[in-house]
């Protein structure tokens, strides 16, 4: 295992990394987005005269005078909504106009002068109040139907299986709408020249943004150049191309000048997309020894009126535990709320809150240690599939974790430390190991360095450094000789940041590209007239060897009069999918303290032990897991968007939308059990971007229960949930 | 934000004659200007005024422009005051924000801060969406039909507990007002937040000498450990002799429309033994008259519990178990 400081860290901490909106171009204009103040209705009229006449204003666009944009569609993300194309308003804070002026302040001031007249209709914004509108969710991205029933031989229904179970627990869980709240707000700088369009904008994959913009603007993808070498956090919220990118690109085309557009922090909450709210009902039936007999998991999630995304929470129950009888269903409730989309561990994060809380409730009902219960029911593969896990060391995670955490000191009713009630909780984390088709290019240069390039992104994940490490490994040279390059649509497509896939996808493609470029190098070396003409050559340690001599690849290229040679390599999911199922696993632990008088719950210790295949860069990997676990604490105790009856967000800014601060987060301990999973991909890495958040909220809730005896089945858990249950 | 004129008077006389909105640390004012909640045409930067100094010789005298961070770390300041300051905002904000500006900070109600909604405090007569809307953070004491917003300042709660006063300067001269009388209940006129007259400037904060207030504390209960306003807070000072309470000062924040002194609790504490039971009995009076809203009913119990906790922490020889 290697530990390497991120190679882009010095640039970032000294402010030299140029993010999308750090680009300032000569003659650049500034755009400001105007958003709706109703959640459902039609725009009847828009008076933009005052805005147009305001100082510095160059243009005002609205649905009455729109910038033409088409709806892009991609296989992974489906349709992406584009603004200003019609007069209907489907949520509060929807972009309805775009004001472009010479300065940002002028654009913002003028935007306040835009008068919108609405024909307002009542809004539906509450998930709980609108369950009668629930629709069956479409199949998931993996093609699995959203409703699935698996029954043991002779069992008629899940109800029968549960009715026949000696011990049954049942619960209704809920999780709120969440916003990614990435540090960098969605923003873009766009300009057109003879080569077409260039857009600087943080995104999860330059090639995705290129495809979206080309489709939206109806131009050939080759005429669209997207640039996002640095991304200030994404977490799923920058998968789809953003409203500022579409508007800046279209406005720049119309005006013939560069245009910059950025959302305000408040607008990020409404004009991008959020994690849906969920409601989940779980019933678990077990034998007295804890063996599961039946699992039922029914889920509802909120969605915008276009149903742009489903939060597949019931899917969590397909993979975590072995059960002879399983029934899961997934419904979606369209509401007048901001758009919904992927957020770190979509499905698994809120789904595991419900399932892992329910498992804790079952352990209590059985009077059994929660770890023992989980180990007893470990899954061999997904429910209803014959394909077993390629590699699974969850038991080790629990064993090592229990030891490291001091789990043996836990009592069923917690402990006391002065005025603090102290509890411990645990939960299982599961996240699928996936890969996307990816192409990378490797260029060997005459100065003995190499470029490794892919169009994906590193939104803080550490992919850039991973590329240097894996590139060095594949070329058998030192890391300092590799220049990894990301974030230009000019580079080959792949390495999108999403689904915890980037290391496995890019790493596999690097292996392929390296073998292609080294093959070419060797054939050039032994070609007629070349230094090793007619000889058998091999390659090792950055050198071509043959006939008892060796040359570095740089020396060889120089001798051949070549500056560089390049090759691309591609890799993607294939045959392995017919042989095994693939997943990462982990065991989450936490200790929570609840004040006996005032009920604040504070996490005092955390540990996650993860089985995620090979860990390529220990330091960055730990940061990834820590970040995920901290987000789990945030979900458990702080975060949640409150959408009012009229669709307004009650806390749509960083004053009201609480995230933990440093004082809320103790030392976070992360440990890896390392078993490279080469059945999944040649690098053996399974992906770590999302699993850290999975299960953590439940571990906190379970610790709160252990400390106080109060079971809270929603997040965030706040003081009012605990006060009544505290001792006087 | 609308355009404005910026001037920088160098004397109190010039400032009070200047008829512009005062800018101290700007951490409230600039925020609200960006949100278009405040739209002053003329802003007077008062940072050059000679309103400095922390004097602990006889009680406490604070120049209005002293920064929260400087006051908090001054050794002679009563613990309840430094505790309230250190649990306010963040270090960066405390380094900017003045103690005078703190007392004048505006409501954190999300409707007050959002000009697309109604708010009687911002736009008199427009209505109060918080009464039926998102009101978990709002007040249970001192509310009216027109407004239910809490007063957000922490240090004001501590100052009210210690009978703090402020000196106000205007073209007509100076006057002193007890901070407790300075803040107005919302009633029908929530936009009138205090007794400050047009052009008046806070020049000094004065806390009368109270030697036993060295035994004082500020307990703040909130949704995260730092950088968040109070769900409930208690400023408590106790004079304890022979395991009995001789005198007490108790005020609470986060639950009322103004910093809220609990004189009935103080009376109940006088003469009471230092026991958890006696504290609970006294604290039982803390929420008298509370009128909870749809989402803040928990504040009634929390208020009593916070007072008990503060009393217990102040009388425990060894502080217990709370981590760091
Ligand atoms: C993110 C955030 C978190 C916060 N958290 C807390 C918290 O937990 N607890 C807490 O108590 N506070 C908190 N605050 C509020 C903060 O303490 C106040 O904003 C600050 O104290 C105001 O002081 P200032 O000098 O910046 O005032 P300014 O913003 O300059 O002025 C505020 C108001 O006071 C007026 N004013 C200023 N000085 C005088 C004077 N001498 N005489 C008359 N009028 C004057 C101004 O005209 C203006 O109306 C928080 C603020 C922020 C932004």
| Residues of A involved in catalysis | 690
Instruction: Mark whether B268 and B156 lie in a shared domain.
Output: no
CB neighbour list of residue B241: distance below 8 Å, 6 or more residues apart: none
- Helix (H) / strand (E) element for B33: namely helix B29-34
Residue A145 C-alpha, separation from nearest chain B C-alpha, in angstroms: 38
Q: pLDDT over 90 for what percent of chain A?
A: 96
Does B122 have pLDDT greater than 80? yes
At A395 the three-state DSSP class reads helix
Classify residue B180: in a domain, yes or no: yes
Kindly report, residue by residue over A578-629, the tens digit of the pLDDT: 999 999 999 999 999 999 999 999 999 999 999 999 999 999 999 999 999 9
Of A105, A419, A650, the CB nearest to B110: A650
Nearest CA to ligand 1 atom 17: B102
| Whether B317 contacts chain A with CB within 8 A | no
Task: Search chain A and give the residue with CA nearest B295.
Answer: A720
Classify residue B17: in a domain, yes or no: no
Classify residue B33: in a domain, yes or no: no
CB neighbour list of residue A438: distance below 8 Å, 6 or more residues apart: A454, A456, A492, A493, A494, A495, A505, A506, A508, A509, A570, A571, A572
Q: pLDDT over 90 for what percent of chain B?
A: 96
The Cα-based distances of A373 to A358, A378, A427, B79 in angstroms read 12, 9, 11, 50
Classify residue B197: in a domain, yes or no: yes
Instruction: Mark whether B185 and B238 lie in a shared domain.
Output: no
- Give yes or no for a contact between A721 and A636, defined as CB atoms under 8 angstroms apart: no
| Whether B189 contacts chain A with CB within 8 A | no
For B3-22, what is the mean pLDDT? 95
Contact criterion met (CB < 8 Å) for B224 and A418: no
Contact criterion met (CB < 8 Å) for B225 and A417: no
Classify residue B1: in a domain, yes or no: no
Kindly report, residue by residue over B135-180, the tens digit of the pLDDT: 999 999 999 999 999 999 999 999 999 999 999 999 999 999 999 9
Classify residue B89: in a domain, yes or no: yes
Q: Beta strands A167-175 and A278-286: pairing type?
A: antiparallel
Q: What pLDDT does A77 receive?
A: 81
- Looking at B207, B232, B264, the residue that finishes a domain is B207
B249 Cα to the center of ligand 1, angstroms: 25
Q: Which residue of A660, A710, A719 to mutate against B (max B Cβ within 10 Å)?
A: A719
CA distance A214 to B61: 66
- Looking at B207, B230, B251, the residue that finishes a domain is B207
Of B116, B223, B308, the CB nearest to A658: B223
What is the domain count for chain B? Answer: 2
Classify residue B235: in a domain, yes or no: yes
Instruction: Mark whether B145 and B241 lie in a shared domain.
Output: no
- Looking at B150, B179, B207, the residue that finishes a domain is B207
Kindly report, residue by residue over A359-404, the tens digit of the pLDDT: 999 999 999 999 999 999 999 999 989 999 999 999 999 999 999 9
Q: What pLDDT does A276 receive?
A: 98
State the complex-level ipTM. 0.96
- Give yes or no for a contact between A542 and A521, defined as CB atoms under 8 angstroms apart: no
A723 CB neighbours in chain B (<8 A) are: 298, 301-302, 305
Name the phi and psi angles at B103, rounded to 5: -70, -20
Kindly report, residue by residue over A82-95, the tens digit of the pLDDT: 999 999 999 999 99
Of A593, A655, A719, the CB nearest to B302: A719
CATH of the domain at B304: 3.30.390.50
Instruction: Mark whether B194 and B286 lie in a shared domain.
Output: no
A661 CB neighbours in chain B (<8 A) are: 224-228
Instruction: Mark whether B120 and B246 lie in a shared domain.
Output: no
Instruction: Mark whether B250 and B126 lie in a shared domain.
Output: no
Residue range(s) defining the domain that contains residue B308? 212-314
Mean pLDDT, chain A, whole residue set: 96
Instruction: Mark whether B94 and B235 lie in a shared domain.
Output: no
Instruction: Mark whether B261 and B167 lie in a shared domain.
Output: no
Q: Is the backbone of residue A78 left (phi > 0), alpha (psi -120 to 50) or beta?
A: left
3-state secondary structure string, B93-123? Answer: HHHHCEHHHHHCCCCCCCCCCCCCCCCCCCC
Instruction: Mark whether B54 and B203 lie in a shared domain.
Output: yes
Instruction: Mark whether B105 and B82 lie in a shared domain.
Output: yes
Residue A666 C-alpha, separation from nearest chain B C-alpha, in angstroms: 10
CATH of the domain at B77: 3.30.465.10
- Give yes or no for a contact between A633 and A601, defined as CB atoms under 8 angstroms apart: no
| Whether B306 contacts chain A with CB within 8 A | yes
Task: Search chain A and give the residue with CA nearest B2.
Answer: A109
Does A449 have pLDDT greater than 80? yes
CA distance A625 to A670: 7
Nearest CA to ligand 1 atom 53: B27
Classify residue B4: in a domain, yes or no: no
Ligand 1 binding pocket (C-beta < 6 A) is A 655; B 21-29, 31, 64, 68, 88-89, 93, 96-98, 100-102, 104-105, 152-155, 201-202, 229
| Whether A115 contacts chain B with CB within 8 A | no
Contact criterion met (CB < 8 Å) for A37 and B231: no
- Helix (H) / strand (E) element for A10: namely helix A9-13
B113 CB neighbours in chain A (<8 A) are: 655
Instruction: Mark whether B279 and B174 lie in a shared domain.
Output: no
| Whether B93 contacts chain A with CB within 8 A | no
Kindly report, residue by residue over A186-233, the tens digit of the pLDDT: 999 999 999 999 999 999 999 999 999 999 999 999 999 999 989 999
Instruction: Mark whether B200 and B216 lie in a shared domain.
Output: no
Domains of chain A: 386-432+582-723 (3.30.365.10), 438-572 (3.30.365.10)
| Whether A597 contacts chain B with CB within 8 A | yes
């Amino acid at each position: 295992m290697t530990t390497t400081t991120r190679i882009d860290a010095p640039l970032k901490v000294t402010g030299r990394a140029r993010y999308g909106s750090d680009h300032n171009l000569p003659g650049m204009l500034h755009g400001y987005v105007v958003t709706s103040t109703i959640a459902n209705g039609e725009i009847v009229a828009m008076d933009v005269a005052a805005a147009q006449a305001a100082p510095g204003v160059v243009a005002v666009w609205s649905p009455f005078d729109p910038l033409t944009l088409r709806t892009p569609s991609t296989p992974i993300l489906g349709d992406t909504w584009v603004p200003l194309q019609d007069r209907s308003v489907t949520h509060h804070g929807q972009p309805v106009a775009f004001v472009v002026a010479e300065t940002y302040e002028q654009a913002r001031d003028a935007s306040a002068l835009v008068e919108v007249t609405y024909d307002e209709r009542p809004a539906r914004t509450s998930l709980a109040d609108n369950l009668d509108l629930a629709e069956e969710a479409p199949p998931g991205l993996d093609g699995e139907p959203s409703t699935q029933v698996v029954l043991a031989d002779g069992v008629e229904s899940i109800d029968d299986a549960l009715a026949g179970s000696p011990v049954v627990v049942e619960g209704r869980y809920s999780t709120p709408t969440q916003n990614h709240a990435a540090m960098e707000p969605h923003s873009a700088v766009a300009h057109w020249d003879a080569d077409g369009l260039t857009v600087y904008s943080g995104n999860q994959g330059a090639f995705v943004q290129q495809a979206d913009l080309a489709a939206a603007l109806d131009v050939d993808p080759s005429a669209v150049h997207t640039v996002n070498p640095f991304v200030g956090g994404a977490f799923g919220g920058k998968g789809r191309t953003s409203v500022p990118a579409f508007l800046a690109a279209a406005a720049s085309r119309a005006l013939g000048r560069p245009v910059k557009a950025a959302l305000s922090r408040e607008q990020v909450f409404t004009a991008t997309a959020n994690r849906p709210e969920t409601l989940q009902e779980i019933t678990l039936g077990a034998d007295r020894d804890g063996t599961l007999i039946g699992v039922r998991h029914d889920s509802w999630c909120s969605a915008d009126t276009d149903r742009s995304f489903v939060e597949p929470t019931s899917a969590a129950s397909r993979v975590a535990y072995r059960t002879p009888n399983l029934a899961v269903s997934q419904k979606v409730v369209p509401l007048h709320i901001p758009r919904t989309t992927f957020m770190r561990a979509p499905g698994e994060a809120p789904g595991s809150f419900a399932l892992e809380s329910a498992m804790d409730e079952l352990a209590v009902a059985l009077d059994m240690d929660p770890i023992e219960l989980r180990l007893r029911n470990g899954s061999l593969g997904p429910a209803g599939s014959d394909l077993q896990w390629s590699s699974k060391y969850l038991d080790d995670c629990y064993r090592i974790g229990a030891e490291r955490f001091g789990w043996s000191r836990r009592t069923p009713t917690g402990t006391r430390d002065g005025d603090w009630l102290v509890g411990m909780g645990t939960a299982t984390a599961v996240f699928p190991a996936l890969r996307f088709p990816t192409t990378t290019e490797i260029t060997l240069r005459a100065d003995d360095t190499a470029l490794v390039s892919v169009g994906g992104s590193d939104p803080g994940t550490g992919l850039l450094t991973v590329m240097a490490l894996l590139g060095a490994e594949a070329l058998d040279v030192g890391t300092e000789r590799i220049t990894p390059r990301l974030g230009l649509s000019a580079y080959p497509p792949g390495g999108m940041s999403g689904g915890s896939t980037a290391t496995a996808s890019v790493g596999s493609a690097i292996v392929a590209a390296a073998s292609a470029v080294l093959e070419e190098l060797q054939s050039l070396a032994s070609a007629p007239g070349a230094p090793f003409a007619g000889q058998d050559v091999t390659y090792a340690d950055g050198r071509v060897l043959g006939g008892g001599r060796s040359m570095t690849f740089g020396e060889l290229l120089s001798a051949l009069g070549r500056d560089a040679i390049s090759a691309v390599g591609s890799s993607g999911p294939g045959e392995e999918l017919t042989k095994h199922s693939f997943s990462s696993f982990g065991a989450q632990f936490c200790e929570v303290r609840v004040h006996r008088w005032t009920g604040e719950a504070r996490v005092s210790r955390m540990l996650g032990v993860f089985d995620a295949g090979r860990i390529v860069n220990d330091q960055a990997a730990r940061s990834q897991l820590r970040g995920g676990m901290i987000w789990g604490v945030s979900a458990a105790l702080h975060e949640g968007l409150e959408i009012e009856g009229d669709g307004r967000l009650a806390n749509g800014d960083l004053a009201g939308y609480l995230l933990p601060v440093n004082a809320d987060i103790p030392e976070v301990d992360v440990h890896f059990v390392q078993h490279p999973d080469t059945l999944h991909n040649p690098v053996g890495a399974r992906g770590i971007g999302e699993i850290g958040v999975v299960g953590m909220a439940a571990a906190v809730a379970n610790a709160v229960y252990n400390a106080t005896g109060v079971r809270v089945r929603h997040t965030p858990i706040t003081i009012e949930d605990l006060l009544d249950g505290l001792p006087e | 934000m609308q355009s404005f004129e910026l001037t920088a008077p160098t004397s109190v006389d010039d400032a009070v004659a200047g008829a512009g909105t005062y800018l101290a640390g700007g951490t409230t004012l600039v925020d609200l200007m960006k949100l278009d909640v405040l739209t002053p045409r003329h802003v007077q930067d008062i940072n050059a005024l000679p309103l400095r100094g922390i004097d602990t010789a006889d009680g406490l005298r604070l120049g209005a422009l002293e920064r929260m961070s400087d006051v908090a770390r001054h050794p002679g300041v009563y613990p309840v005051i430094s505790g309230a300051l250190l649990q306010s905002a963040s270090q960066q904000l405390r380094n900017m924000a003045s103690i005078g500006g703190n007392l004048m900070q505006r409501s954190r109600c999300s409707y007050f801060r959002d000009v697309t909604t109604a708010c009687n405090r911002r736009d008199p007569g427009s209505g109060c969406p918080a009464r039926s809307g998102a009101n978990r953070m709002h007040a249970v004491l001192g509310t009216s039909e027109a407004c239910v917003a809490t007063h957000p300042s922490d240090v004001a709660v501590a100052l009210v507990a210690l009978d703090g006063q402020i000196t106000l300067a205007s073209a007509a001269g100076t006057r002193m007002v007890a901070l407790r009388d300075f803040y107005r209940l919302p009633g029908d006129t929530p936009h009138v937040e205090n007794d400050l007259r047009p052009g008046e400037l806070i020049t000094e904060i004065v806390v009368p000498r109270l030697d036993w207030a060295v035994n004082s504390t500020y307990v703040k209960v909130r949704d995260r450990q730092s950088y968040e306003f109070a769900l409930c807070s208690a400023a408590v000072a106790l004079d304890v002799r022979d395991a009995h309470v001789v005198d007490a000062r108790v005020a609470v924040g986060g639950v009322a429309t103004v910093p809220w002194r609990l004189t009935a609790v103080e009376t109940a504490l006088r003469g009471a033994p230092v026991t958890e039971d006696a504290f609970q009995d006294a604290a039982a009076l803390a929420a008298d008259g509370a009128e909870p809203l749809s989402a803040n009913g928990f504040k009634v119990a929390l208020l009593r519990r916070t007072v008990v906790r503060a009393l217990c922490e102040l009388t425990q020889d060894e502080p217990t178990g709370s981590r760091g």
